[in-house]
Structure 1
Amino acid sequence: MNTAADRLPLPRTAGAPAALRWPRRALGLVVPLLLLGGVELAVRSGLVEGRLLPAPTEVLSALLGLGAADVAGHVGASSGRVALGFVAGASLALVVGALVGLSQLAEALLDPLFQALRAIPSLAWVPLLLLWLGIDEAPKLVLIAIGAFFPVYMGAVAGIRDVDRKLVELARLYGLSRVALARRVLLPAAAPAVLTGLRNGLSLAWMFMVAAELIAATRGLGYLLTDGREMGRADLVFAAILLLAALGKLSDGLMRRWERRALAWRDSVGASR
């Protein structure tokens, strides 16, 4: 007799042919393309004022008007800042998160402070960093590192705290040292939460980058946003927003691919998609 569980549909396995997986990936383009097409029709028909919401073709024309070299300069400046700030903030967060997750004393001393700092908005850091570090690249990188730090820290702490106690007890029965316990049990078990924290940290690093480039920047997508606002050019503002969305999606996709490879040992529904 078949049970209800036997009648549940099985998820698509990772070994499915690429020809079957591509249509599923292409579904993610349907809604954005429909939105862009709808905006284009609404602006061209006069339902929406183009001065406030430019047509996608006008946004594309604005990008082409800037020139490939200028666009590449803005994208390169922002991407470089995000990369450096994210690596610095995430590296520190992994070390501190592991310490807090493994030590009750470190948790009691540090976690309340970090939970309070986590609630501070990104723009609130700007005047303080300007006072401390001036207007060069240092305050921009520090602000991005701050944005990346807290999601990664939370992921590391939560991942280590949520490790099954039975795994730890079994490892101790086998006589594993503290270093071996952390390397062979705690870190692999915490890896899913840590990698999720890294993805969230990268996403927040892009958000903090916009605030960072308000600090006397002459290059970058944040500067392009400000420049478009000051000139009253909504097409430039939307061009910068679309570039930010594309770069954020690209970086998250690369991080997600790395996450799948690092966690290929998992036998879960999500891992099979």
Structure 2
Amino acid sequence: MSAARRWRLSDSAITPAIVPVGLLLAWQLASTAGLLPSNILPAPTAVVKAAGELIANGQLVANLAVSTARALTGLVAGGAVSFLLGLLCGVSPTGRRLLDPTLQMVRTIPHLALLPLVILWFGIGEQAKILLVAWGIFFPIYLNTYHGVVSTDPQLIEMGKSYGMTRWELFRRVIFPGALPSILVGLRFGLGIMWLTLIVAETIAANSGIGYMAMQAREFSQTDIIVLSIFVYAALGKLADSLTRLLERRLLRWNPAYAKA
């Protein structure tokens, strides 16, 4: 392998880190020079120190586990229902006419607007936060699943029928693989809304979790912990998105658009 080729590979590997590392360095320099007061925005070193202290006393790990459990439970509950309804409305004209108009009407209701009502029904218990997370991810997954199914190339469906495929074989070998890219896009979109919903739910109605930790820090003007909480949410969102992209590469290796992703 030539030196030029090795350099191109190395440059490609470090390119995504250039902007965040540069921003962190500028942030640290501004804090050190006194341009950013610590009570407004603490230095990155102060945030790292706060993270170390919270890890040592177990608070960060405990709250992180609670938030992750809430997010995953809501994802499984809302994602399963929305995925099945998307498939049903996509493959069944009767199901589409029966369910889709009502779902499209309900979709226009902002899910965070339901927060006061959900708290009134369920209090600040786990059911309220899980329900909001499930509701938040419902429509991204439903819409993309439905769109993927109805957008399957009709010529491929006709070809499958001409080869004598049964309905199940046609769905398994033609319709579902054709819809899978759209389904995974819906999953990525839904994961972003999942963390956004959880942030709001935990900062308004919770007694544990990363959002609760941030609100407790606000009461005592601990800006380093507030900034740390923001970074934790950002890291969780990035991790979820990266895992979904990995899933795309594994499940869509047959698709030329994802072969070199």
Q: Structure 1 residues 22 and 95, CA, compared in 2 at 3 Å: closer, same or farther? A: farther
Partner amino acid, structure 2, of 1:46:
G
Structure 1 residue 26 and structure 2 residue 26: aligned?
no
Q: Is contact 1:122-1:211 (8 Å) kept?
A: no
Partner of 1:96: 85
Cα RMSD over matched residues?
2.1
Higher helix residue share: 2
Structure 1 residue 185 and structure 2 residue 174: aligned?
yes
1:49 counterpart SS class? coil
Partner of 1:73: 62
Q: Structure 1 residues 122 and 58, CA, compared in 2 at 3 Å: closer, same or farther? A: farther
- How much has 1:152 moved relative to structure 2? 0.8
Equivalent of 2:135 in 146, 164, 172: 146
Q: Structure 1 residues 182 and 140, CA, compared in 2 at 3 Å: closer, same or farther? A: same
1:67 counterpart SS class? helix
Equivalent of 1:203 in 185, 192, 198: 192
1:214 counterpart SS class? helix
5 Å-filtered alignment, 1:51-130, equals 51-68=39-56, 69-130=58-119
Equivalent of 1:40 in 23, 28, 32: 28
- How much has 1:259 moved relative to structure 2? 1.4
Partner amino acid, structure 2, of 1:232:
S
Unaligned runs of 5+ in 1: 1-16
Partner amino acid, structure 2, of 1:225:
A
Q: Structure 1 residues 87 and 253, CA, compared in 2 at 3 Å: closer, same or farther? A: same
Partner of 1:159: 148
Partner of 2:121: 132
Q: Is contact 1:140-1:215 (8 Å) kept?
A: no
- How much has 1:157 moved relative to structure 2? 0.8
Higher normalized contact order (CA 8 Å, seq sep 6+, divided by chain length): 1
Aligned length: 256
Q: Structure 1 residues 121 and 36, CA, compared in 2 at 3 Å: closer, same or farther? A: farther
Question: TM-score, normalization: structure 2?
Answer: 0.90
Partner of 1:5: none
CA distance in 2, matches of 1:132, 1:97: 28
Structure 1 residue 266 and structure 2 residue 255: aligned?
yes
Q: Is contact 2:54-2:60 (8 Å) kept?
A: yes
CA distance in 1, matches of 2:234, 2:125: 26
Q: Percent identity?
A: 39
Question: TM-score, normalization: structure 1?
Answer: 0.86
- How much has 1:91 moved relative to structure 2? 0.8
Q: Structure 1 residues 22 and 79, CA, compared in 2 at 3 Å: closer, same or farther? A: farther
CA distance in 2, matches of 1:119, 1:25: 42
Partner of 1:238: 227
CA distance in 1, matches of 2:109, 2:259: 35
Deviates more, 1:186-195 or 1:45-54: 45-54
Partner amino acid, structure 2, of 1:67:
I
CA distance in 2, matches of 1:98, 1:49: 53
1:181 counterpart SS class? helix
